[in-house]
Amino acid sequence: MSVLTLEVKEIIEDAPNLKTYVFEHGLRAKPGQFVMVWMPGVDEVPMSIGWQSDTQFHLSIALAGDCTKAIHEQIKVGDKLGMRGPYGNPFTHEGYKNIVLVGGGCGMPPMLSLAQSATKAGVKTTVLLGGRTKDHLLFEKKFKDLGCEIHAATDDGSKGHKGFVTDVLEKELEKGGVDCVYTCGPEMMMVKVAQLAQDYNTPSQVSLERYMKCGFGICGQCCIDGTGLRVCKDGPVFPGEVALKHQEFGKYKRDSAGVKIGLDGCRL
């Protein structure tokens, strides 16, 4: 089948500008993988897979552009969306006993999928949740129910540490005993996470986001400068030390024409 077309069974407003769409389908994706979500008549964009069970999966879609705006405004319970995938190189936790997950804002959904997989395998999982305010901290209850230890950081101090989530990460790394750090969220945060992990001689895995067309490694639209690796196929999850070698990591990305643009989407 070229496209999996699924009905939206439920819509949960998880945070300002972020809605979770529930589909009744056992996708059995690995944590960190993504689907290309097709909003008919508008566009198709890569979206990380969030919460999963044997019969359900969640896509938490943040308002980020024309396609996600159309999904937020037009898609109601009972409407259908097309999907291709799951695609991509996943997060892995084999052999680890104690891991730390660092997520900011809309980077949380794949962290949730990873926490499900890790806790099921008996890995001690600490989640560092970052967000602008306490209303932007995602999936706290779900992480708690999985048995994760949670530390929050907010920009305004409305919950947990006032400041960057990476400050909290540094404290965790100082304590020692962390086997691997995982991160997904704003790219500048991920650069900091990868650098901190490297400073503490700890492996890390980061999940990158780039404009994509095919999603399975042939069109070249999401290739990263330096190595030429494909975000859709060799990534989206890369070892932190590989991501740090990419000359564009934390600096720029490309638009649909292949023109270099800033991480904020503006022309350089």
Partner 1 sequence: MNVSVDFCGIKFPNPTVVASGYLGVTGASLASCAKNGAGGVTAKTIFMDERPGHPNPTVVAFPGGLINAVGLCGEGIKNAKHEFEIYRDSAPDNPIIGSIGGKNLKELVEVAEIMDTYPVDMIELNFSCPNVDDEMGRPIACDPLMTAEATKAIRKVVKKPISVKLSPNVPDIGMIAKHAEMEGADAITAVNTMGPGMLIDPKLRRPILANKVGGVSGQALKPIAVRCVYDVYSAVQIPIIATGGVVNGNAALEMILAGGSLLGIGSAIMSNDMQCFTMIVDKIREYMEEEGFTDISELVGLAHEN
Q: Footprint of partner 1 on this chain (CB under 8 A)?
A: 2-3, 5, 36, 38, 40-45, 80, 82, 84, 213-221, 223-230, 233, 254-259
72 vs 142, beta carbon nearer partner 1: 72
25 vs 134, beta carbon nearer partner 1: 25
64 vs 146, beta carbon nearer partner 1: 64
CB of 245 to partner 1, least distance (A): 12
Q: Which of 106, 126, 109 is nearest to 118 (CA)?
A: 126
CB of 85 to partner 1, least distance (A): 11
* Cα angle for residues 122, 51, 5 (degrees, 5° grid): 140
72 vs 84, beta carbon nearer partner 1: 84
CB of 24 to partner 1, least distance (A): 14
105 vs 215, beta carbon nearer partner 1: 215
User: Tokens for 18?
Assistant: 């972020």
CB of 44 to partner 1, least distance (A): 4
CB of 225 to partner 1, least distance (A): 5
φ and ψ at 244, to 5 degrees? -65, -25
User: Tokens for 31?
Assistant: 């944590």
* Cα angle for residues 169, 141, 137 (degrees, 5° grid): 50
Task: Return the SS3 of 155.
Answer: coil
Distance CA 32, CA 183 (A): 10
- Specify the residue for token string 């967000």: 131
Q: Which of 184, 187, 91, 179 is nearest to 139 (CA)?
A: 184
